[in-house]
Every structure is written in structure tokens, then in C-alpha cells.
Amino acid sequence: MICVPIVARTNEAARADMLRAARLADMVELRLDYLQERVRLDFLLQDRPCPVIVTNRAARQGGLYEGGEAERTSILREAVQLGAEYVDIEYDAVGRLRERLGTKIIVSYHNFEETPADLHAIAQTLLGTGGDIIKIATHVTTTSDAVRLCQLSADLGVPKVILGMGSKGMPTRILTQKFGSLLTYAALSRDRASAPGQLTITDLLDVYRFRSIDASSAVYGVIGNPIAHSLSPHVQNAAFRHEGLNCVYVPFEVDDFDSFIKSSKCLSPKGFSVTLPHKEAAARLVRDVDEVTGKIGAVNTLKFDGGRITGTNTDWKAALDAIKSAMAEGASLAGKRVLVLGAGGATRAIVFGLISSGAEVVIANRTFERAEALAREAGCRAIRWEERTEVATDIIVNSTSLGMSPEVEATPFPKEALQGGQVVFDAVYNPRQTRLLREAAEMDCIVVEGIEMFVHQAAAQFEFWTGRPGPVDVIRNAATAAFDGVSETL
């Protein structure tokens, strides 16, 4: 179930938000501690559009109520008298609610500092209070804390709500039904969250397909840091939906890759995408990768099959697919002269991919020594950054970060040196239309947007996990829709 917290400042606004929330949510939580005027509980509960949890959270448990305990809990007793479906009360104040009538009591524990080691002991304390439902919400410091919360939820055979707060707690908010928690909280809009890390109800429903997640849903995800603006959950969940697969794909903000992989076993994950800064650590985890992935030394896709972990790098194939999409049907990269700008992580995958397909690669980078080192490893030529306009080339690839938002007027290659008919691929995808691509189009070059590489690497990951071809058009549509939605905050 999804519960939307109502955090309005006035009774009238709270009532309006309840009506809006009830269109999508299963219930709402009336956060009385947010009201900045006298609470009119009868007005709020009268003809309510859905079941209600009444909460008046004390400041000591992360709420806004700063008055005395007697006054704070008397309004909860009034909620019971008025027939509220649920009342949420802190575990150390539950004795103040003697009469319960038909109301179910949620006994809650909040910790905004950490996720304590003794979660099971805390659960036992809550169970000892005699409430109907226990609620544990803790601050997640490492993603392994989030995994422990999921495990706790799975272990407890009683009605419970178990959640991790903060950006690293997001998986617990998405996987509640997978691990048997009664409900998750989701905000009516971004500015109406009642706890750090809370998703909006539309993201929960549209991106994560919350209604279709159950105990048998297979868990996939993306591991990285930062991860908040990743487009991967948008595209992979859309692909799973399109293929009718009971799978859910979740963001994992991870600092320590190895300890996360160990602790993630209890999620029984089926596959992970791996992004910065963990691709090299992922490469150390797997053996038997394909030849090009082995040379790149970075793995962006992991697959779990029983106790066996396999991995690959889909970036290099994706870059080739993106470039080939601009070439004539059946055309080959063999013998094509390619100038690659950059020498960072993206360049490495692109260069090894191009060389494996027989292209003649020249690398130019601001720091010449990096270009030289990569060229030596890959078996191609490096030139100085100032010489980049002097080489004859069929294809130009930008894999520097030049042109990326917010420096959108920067460009890695002067317009006047571009030649009509050249293929110009810009790995930068924020913005989608970089200055380089705009100018290349003006010079009659064939342009390829960076988002094409993102789309193809996602499709290849999907295929690596499921054995089915990744639905490229579905992934492209989801990527562009999500990109338009989040690009301003990237």
C-alpha cells in the first residue's frame, strides 16, 4: 500500500491535499504536527476520501510538535474517538493511549542519526508495547543498512512498516511489498516530502511500477555514487514492463562496492548496472569476461545466477552501435579513420571497442601523457591536443566532458575544421544537442547524440540479464522522457 503524508500548514489545505492524494494513494497520513493553526480534527476526518493515519510527531522523534506530551497525545485520543483507521504513536508514549476502539495503533521508532546494529531488539521492544503494527524508520548511512532493513522486514512475521531514510534508503521505500512491509510513504509532490529520501507517488507508480512489485519480483539495480539523477531506473523498469517481466530495478547509492556486494545477497539480486566510481571494482569481482571488456578493465553490468557472478562492459558495444546507426546499412568500421577526443573512462571503452572493430584510431587529449598511455595500451596513435584539427578523419568522437551542462558553450573541436560527410558522435548527453553537434549539423556532418550510446548500453544490459533483445525503442522513449524531466537538475 502507498500512504501519502499530508504536510499542509492549514486545515483547509490539508483537506485539499487529502482529496488529491486519495486519487492515487491507498491512504494518507495526517501530520498534525505540520499544522500551524488549531487542529480541526473533526473537519479533517469528516467524509474522508480514504483511510487515515493520524500522527502528531514529537520533535524528539523528528517531528515538528514542540509542546507538552499530554497535549500532544490528547489529540491522538480524540482521533481514536472520531474513528480514525490508524493512529501512529511513538513507542515510548504508547501507554498514553489506553482506549483504542476500532483504531489500529502503529507503534513507531525513528532514528535520524543511524540504523542501529540491534534492529531485531528494537523490533522486540516495539512488539512488547502491544500495538497492532510496528514501524521502524532509521537513517541509512550505508546501503548495507538498507539491505539490513529489508532483511528485518522479511524476518518479522508481524504487521510492520520498515523504512530507511535518506538517499541511501530509497531501495527500502520501493521494495516494501517484496519484503512484506505493509506500506510505503510517498510524497504528493517533491516539495511535500515528510522525510529525507521520500519518492513522489508518481515516481513510485510510473517509474518503479510499485503496484506490480510482490514477493516474487526479481531485484535488479544500479550501483553508483552519485546515483540520484540516473536515468537507468526509468529505462530498465520501462523495458521490464514492456516485456511483461516481474522485475524491479532500484538505485543503490553505494560508497563501498565490496561490502555492498556481500550484504546484497539477502536481496537475491539478479543483476546490477555499475556506474562511477565502481566499474573497476566490478571488474575485479568477475572472471571470464569477453576480450574487449578484459582490456578495458571496467565492468558496467553484473549478472547473478545462483552463486555465479558474471559481468561485461556494454559501453564499448553501445558506442559502436551508436556510431554505426549513422552509417549506411551494413557499413563496417574496419579501416575507418577515427579521431577520439579524450582519455578518461568513457574514452577507454570507446577506443578498445573501435580497435576491436578494425578502425584506425587516433587519440587527442588535453593531457598528452594520458593520450599516449592509452594509445600505447590500445595499440594506436596519440597526438597533441593542438594537432587535433590536422588529421584526416572519417569519424570524430568526443568523449571529453567539454560541452556538458552547465558549460554548454564549450566545444572540443572548432566548427571550421569540420568537414561535410564526417560522422560526429558526441558522448556528452546533457544537453542532448551539444554545441559540437549543432555546429557539425551546420557543416553537413552526420551527427549522433550521446543518448544513443546510453540507450544501446541499457539495451545490451537488458539482453545480458534476460537473454531477450533489449527493446531499444522503448528504452529510447523512456530515456528521452526522463531526460526532459530531470535534465534541469542534472
Which residues belong to the active site? 110, 135, 279, 315
- Window contacting ligand NAP (CB under 6 A); options: 28-36, 149-157, 170-178, 363-371: 363-371
Cβ distance to ligand NAP smaller for residue 77 or 438? 438
470 forms part of the interface with ligand NAP (CB under 6 A): no
Binding mask 285-324 for ligand NAP (x = CB under 6 A): ------------------------------x---------
133 forms part of the interface with ligand NAP (CB under 6 A): no
- HSE-CB at 80 with a 13 A cutoff on CA atoms is 19
Measured in whole angstroms, how far is the alpha carbon of residue 42 from the centre of its chain?
Answer: 40
- In the complex, minimum distance from the CB of residue 348 to ligand NAP, in angstroms, rounded to a whole number: 7
Cβ distance to ligand NAP smaller for residue 86 or 454? 454
- Window contacting ligand NAP (CB under 6 A); options: 92-100, 147-155, 249-257, 345-353: 345-353
Cβ-Cβ contacts under 8 Å for 275 (sequence gap 6 or more): 222, 223, 224, 227, 230, 232, 300
Cβ distance to ligand NAP smaller for residue 108 or 411? 411
346 forms part of the interface with ligand NAP (CB under 6 A): yes
Residue number closest to ligand NAP, CB atom: 344
**Residue 183 and residue 203: Cα distance in Å, rounded?**
16
Cβ distance to ligand NAP smaller for residue 302 or 322? 322
- Window contacting ligand NAP (CB under 6 A); options: 86-94, 203-211, 422-430, 460-468: 422-430
- Window contacting ligand NAP (CB under 6 A); options: 52-60, 143-151, 258-266, 341-349: 341-349
- In the complex, minimum distance from the CB of residue 417 to ligand NAP, in angstroms, rounded to a whole number: 15
Query: How big is the CA angle at 279 (ends 228 and 410), to the nearest 5 degrees?
Result: 65
- In the complex, minimum distance from the CB of residue 37 to ligand NAP, in angstroms, rounded to a whole number: 48
- In the complex, minimum distance from the CB of residue 4 to ligand NAP, in angstroms, rounded to a whole number: 35
263 forms part of the interface with ligand NAP (CB under 6 A): no
370 forms part of the interface with ligand NAP (CB under 6 A): yes
- In the complex, minimum distance from the CB of residue 475 to ligand NAP, in angstroms, rounded to a whole number: 12
Cβ distance to ligand NAP smaller for residue 137 or 453? 453
**Residue 149 and residue 109: Cα distance in Å, rounded?**
13
Cell of 435: 554545441
Neighbours of 60 (CB within 10 A): 13
429 forms part of the interface with ligand NAP (CB under 6 A): yes
Cβ distance to ligand NAP smaller for residue 423 or 427? 427
- Window contacting ligand NAP (CB under 6 A); options: 9-17, 158-166, 397-405, 477-485: 397-405
Binding mask 437-456 for ligand NAP (x = CB under 6 A): -------------x--xx--
Cβ distance to ligand NAP smaller for residue 14 or 296? 296
432 forms part of the interface with ligand NAP (CB under 6 A): no
The radius of gyration of the chain's CA atoms, rounded to the nearest angstrom, is: 27
397 forms part of the interface with ligand NAP (CB under 6 A): no
483 forms part of the interface with ligand NAP (CB under 6 A): no
Cβ distance to ligand NAP smaller for residue 207 or 346? 346
Binding mask 31-70 for ligand NAP (x = CB under 6 A): ----------------------------------------
400 forms part of the interface with ligand NAP (CB under 6 A): yes
480 forms part of the interface with ligand NAP (CB under 6 A): no
Q: Which residues lie near ligand NAP (CB under 6 A)?
A: 315, 342-347, 365-367, 370, 399-402, 404, 427-429, 450, 453-454, 457
